[in-house]
A and B are shown apart, each in its own frame.
Chain A
């Protein structure tokens, strides 16, 4: 994979394994993709498919029982070989993360301003407190919160407001990449819409790249340029966002799209995917989706398919390849 001038993130055969007492959980098992600057990629899949692990792996904040293998380059730098200390200087300044639950992601005994000051001073040690405060005020205003609220504690904010604070914290140092792990999942529907609008606006304003991790296909549709569909630690399909919605290729993607509640077509029954994702300690041989796939053939259960090129998209399914 060649590196273009504007490639930001490059993954090649990335594997993230949890070494547990009862076996090795292959949460991310050989994932390759590249991300360009200013691009937003949506990472979609069911719970437990490895998408959150992948997000944490990009920042290397995983427990010590985890082994990472393969290639992971960010902004031209090899992340896997970096020391914990080097990673600390990258986290928060070049890569930041927005978490799922804003209610618990802020330290309850610290004022909002102290979250900002602590972070800014960690990365820019020589900055004065006034300068740090004005940076914090600017970031907070950008997410639509009055700077007068810097002096308040997290519990004085509502869920949506806290997520705005988290986003402001994520953006205050102008990171190159923002990883948003289910940023709207735990919010009310109307607050969800507000946060999505906010992220859209900030993306334009700050020119940031974003990896949006979610199981909500509606959210990705609003925000992502490209979509990666993950299943059981593997990439099943990579495609442009519009293409994916208009003509999904992988049977798993189709099944996911069919399971979105749709209020426009009233008569359509909501379908679901029978069965549950495989055990990642001993995943099935062949295609990992085969046991739940209604189009599964003999080869699917025997041999793992590669990613086939199909009209610009990449699909990991034998339906699209020559089956020798």
Chain B
């Protein structure tokens, strides 16, 4: 399948200038933004000598072009600088936070995709019947509910009133499983640590389901809309005329053809979540990238903000290449 290989290589090469443009924008936007990082760190009443010393240490006295080249050069070797707040390397801090976000994202995506694909397909199949009408109402209502409000209601019902589930955090203290992938659910499963698994699962249930349900509203509508289009196509009718069973007609013929636009949206949503579901993470005190970024913005930690944005952008680019490749794999017309 050399055409697919060729396609993948082209997509990766095209990503390099894309990344470069992005890095440049991030760099300059942060320089233009109001708010002086040194004042933010030392406070307005700091003595001028200390401020001067700090500026020199941070390299803020260099011409902007020099700063830019240094920034790119350091990024190449994975150096995102140190947090001005904690003095720790930004990349280390981000990598500590990232697994939590990945875990939440994966869980929410599974929930959203399951609801989206099945309900969306069934709604298209039973167009204008009760399944379809409920699917449409569900999508509109859930989509318009603010995620933090929905999250708080979940906390109120299942945490505060029923005492069934913990309302915040990733896992109870001292319950962390041996670190392998740093995704607690996966680690606990690999090491067979059932107690940790159960504990971590109870923690992710509320934030993950909240996020998953909210995102599923988009997926239900997307899948339904695209399925309605493909279900009316000639090849679906032709497949029926060949005696193909209805389930295969819907899921093998119609859904697979509807998948290219659906997958694009799903992939972008996935990438967006990897950037941190800021509201959900904050509501549930989930120690991920989203809540990290919010905290760093509050303290004007330039290095950390810049680092997080670059890190997130990198993942969005990786995910979008992956989507393109999967689409090309599904639909041969794209790769030829």
Measuring CB to CB, which residues of chain A are less than 8 angstroms from any residue of chain B?
Answer: 59, 61, 84, 88-93, 96-97, 99, 101, 104-110, 118-119, 122-123, 153, 155, 166, 169
Contacts and interface: CB of A to CB of B under 8 A. Distances in A.
Contacts of A119: 242-244
B242 A109 contact: no
B257 A107 contact: yes
A108 B242 contact: no
Contact of A61 (B233, B241, B257): B241
A125 to B, nearest CB: 11
Interface in B194-239: 233-235, 237-239
Most A CB within 10 A of own CB, among B237, B239, B243, B246:
B243
Contact of A109 (B241, B245, B331, B336): B331
B57 to A, nearest CB: 58
Contact of B246 (A84, A97, A104, A108): A84
Contacts of A166: 238
Contacts of A104: 233-235
B330 interface: yes
Contacts of B257: 107-109
A61 B244 CA distance: 12
B240 interface: yes
Contacts of A109: 256-257, 330-332
Given A104-B234, A104-B235, A109-B256, A96 B241 contact: yes
B243 A90 contact: yes
Given A59-B241, A108-B333, A110-B253, 15 more contacts: A88-B245, A89-B243, A90-B243, A91-B242, A92-B243, A101-B234, A105-B234, A105-B235, A105-B237, A107-B235, A108-B235, A108-B331, A122-B248, A155-B332, A169-B242
A32 B164 CA distance: 68
A166 to B, nearest CB: 7
A261 B197 CA distance: 78
Nearest to B254: A107
B235 A92 contact: no
A59 to B, nearest CB: 6
B332 A122 contact: no
5 contacts: A97-B241, A105-B235, A105-B237, A107-B239, A122-B245
A18 to B, nearest CB: 15
Interface size bracket, B side:
20 to 34
Contacts of A61: 237, 240-241
Nearest to A94: B243
B256 to A, nearest CB: 5
Contacts of B243: 88-93, 119, 122-123
A192 B48 CA distance: 89
A12 B77 CA distance: 82
Nearest to A88: B243
Interface in B295-336: 330-333, 336
Contacts of B332: 108-109, 153, 155
Contact of B242 (A110, A122, A153): A122
Contacts of B245: 88, 122
Contacts of A155: 332-333, 336
A229 to B, nearest CB: 25
Interface in B231-286: 233-235, 237-246, 248, 252-253, 256-257
A235 B238 CA distance: 27
Given A153-B332, A155-B333, A99 B242 contact: no
Contacts of B253: 107, 110
A145 to B, nearest CB: 18
Contacts of A97: 238, 241
Contact of A92 (B237, B242, B246, B331): B242
Contacts of A84: 246
A89 to B, nearest CB: 6
Given A107-B257, A153-B332, A118 B235 contact: no
A110 B95 CA distance: 42
A106 B333 contact: no
Nearest to B252: A118
B242 to A, nearest CB: 4
Nearest to B244: A122
Given A109-B331, A153-B332, A92 B244 contact: yes
B333 A92 contact: no
Most A CB within 10 A of own CB, among B240, B242, B330, B331:
B242
Contacts of B234: 99, 101, 104-105
B235 A91 contact: no
B36 to A, nearest CB: 56
Contacts of B240: 61, 91
Closest A-B pairs by Cβ, 8 of them: A92-B243, A91-B243, A92-B242, A104-B234, A97-B241, A105-B238, A107-B235, A105-B234
A300 to B, nearest CB: 37
